[in-house]
Structure 1
Amino acid sequence: MTVPLPPESLWPARLAILAVIGLNLALSEHLTLGPTWLLPSLEGLMLVPLVVVRGRARRHLVRLEARVTPWARDSRVLAIAVIALLHLTNLSSLALLVLSLLRGSGASGVSLLAGALNIWVTNVLVFSLWYWEMDQGGPLRRGLIGKPPDFLFPQMTLAPTTPPWRPMYLDYLFLAFTNGSAFSPTDALPLSRRAKGLMMLQAATSMLTVILVASRAVNILK
């Protein structure tokens, strides 16, 4: 009989969220909506209840050996809201970067290039969180027997191991990094339509950021 796996550690994803908040604080004001501290402060405030609710949901799952509880459902809604806010913040910064380049703002070339790099790294972290939260119902439901995966990792095609292999946050971070740098899947293959849609969106965002950096670099060299 196959036994469901216990829920995975939540700390890697929490650290990734904190890293995104730090990157948002590091952006210059011409790449942020409102004061630099405004959106990161809101993100930090939303992170607090997420840590509390999801932590409690995880303890319930470990103790009760269940996978669907009101705490788990509420924590998933909170997690999606936090990731969506992080994503919208990054997209707004990218839009402001495009406007800065098109309008020829007074920002220095170094400042714009640093902002573009910040946006690209943030994009990788945000999509790693999307993949981690989406695949097989999220971290609290991943490992539930019969839950179809959204991604096919190479380890899934190998002979079964004891305990069974399952993806952790670092696997999704690697997936997001390779998709953001190669603009295509190089490690895990998307199986569901929503996984394909997210990977397309990430690749398009990364490609736009790289094109902007390249065009600015050419102008600097001239």
Structure 2
Amino acid sequence: MDGTDGVPHEPEVPAWRRPTEGEYRWPAALVIALIIGMQLVEPGRLTVHPHWLLPALEGVFLAVLVVSNPARINRASVPLRAASLALAAVASLGNAWSLVLLIRGLIAGTEGGSAGLLLFLAATIWGTNVVVFALWYWEFDRGGPVARAHAHQPRPDFLFPQMQAPELADRDWEPAFFDYLYVSYTNATAFSPTDTMPMSRWAKLLMLMQSAISLVTAGLVVARAVNILR
């Protein structure tokens, strides 16, 4: 491609393929705080005992991450990376435990006496599941947010529409947490990829697992709630 001076210019490298300042911490921190709040309002019978344990652990990990790297996520640190993954793992464990106990209660007949309460519990677990998988997608795509900021891995695990049509995207566009949250939400509602395609095997496996969990939650819980309403 020629410039105005007649000298051939190289195509501009998109932001997601070059080193950048990194994305802001606050979107992920805000959604994680929402997870903690949802876990605290769940009935104690559906959570790991003591009821406050996992939310407290998540709060500690979140506080460490925010204090250590409060603005942009671009600081390479093994302890911070471990804390970030541990936070996602604890949130996943808590939500999986709640879902298992809820399903067991539905099968045993100890849960599901009230359609309103059942739908509230299902919405809480389903919503937390969306956020948890968004965290995993965000943490692993091209090595995580710090690795993406430093452009360590050029091959994407998730192919976003802006990567396929860069001429339609802002020159400084790069995937951030809310992009992964959208991928997680659409996968949980459509039970399949929509506009963003998984490229690596781990991404396909995670999306498969999320779709299966969402299908079970919707199938069992909503069917039981409709039964009660009838």
**TM-score category (smaller protein):** 0.7 to 0.9
Equivalences, count: 212
Per-residue deviation, 1:180: 0.4
The answer to whether the 8 Å contact 1:7/1:139 transfers is yes
- Mapped to 2, the partners of 1:204 and 1:50 lie a distance apart of 31
TM-superposed CA distance for 1:178, in Å, is: 0.3
Instruction: Determine the C-alpha separation between the residues in 1 that align with 2:191 and 2:203.
Output: 14
Query: Structure 2: which amino acid aligns with 1:47?
Result: L
Equivalent residue letter for 1:156? M
In structure 2, the partner of 1:39 is 54
Amino acid at match of 2:96: L
Work out whether 1:12 is the aligned partner of 2:27: yes
**Equivalent residue number for residue 166 of structure 1:** 174
Q: Provide closer, same or farther for how the CA distance between residues 113 and 167 of structure 1 changes in structure 2, counting only shifts above 3 A.
A: same
* Alignment partner of 1:157 out of 151, 159, 164: 164
Shift of 1:169: 1.1
Residue 146 of structure 1: how far off its partner (Å): 4.6
Bigger Cα Rg = 2
1:94 aligned onto 2:117: no
In structure 2, list runs of 5 or more residues that go unmatched.
1-11
TM-score, length of structure 2 as denominator length = 0.84
- CA-based RMSD of the aligned residues comes to 2.1
Q: Which residue of 2 aligns with 1:50?
A: 65
Instruction: Quote the residue 1:66 is aligned against.
Output: none
| CA contact 2:26–2:71 (8 Å) conserved in 1 | no
How far 1:33 moved relative to its partner?
Answer: 1.9
SS at match of 2:50: coil
Give, in whole Å, the separation in 2 of the partners of 1:86 and 1:111: 22
Q: Which residue in 2 is equivalent to 1:118?
A: 124
User: Counterpart of 2:157 in structure 1: which amino acid?
Assistant: D
Q: Could you tell me how far 1:55 is from its partner in structure 2?
A: 3.7
The residue identity in structure 1 corresponding to 2:101 is L
Contact 1:156 1:165 in 2 (8 A): no
1:106 CA displacement: 5.7
1:148 maps onto 2:163 in alignment: no
Does the CA contact (< 8 Å) of 1:7 and 1:141 recur in 2? no
Instruction: Structure 1: give runs of 5+ residues left out of the alignment.
Output: 62-68
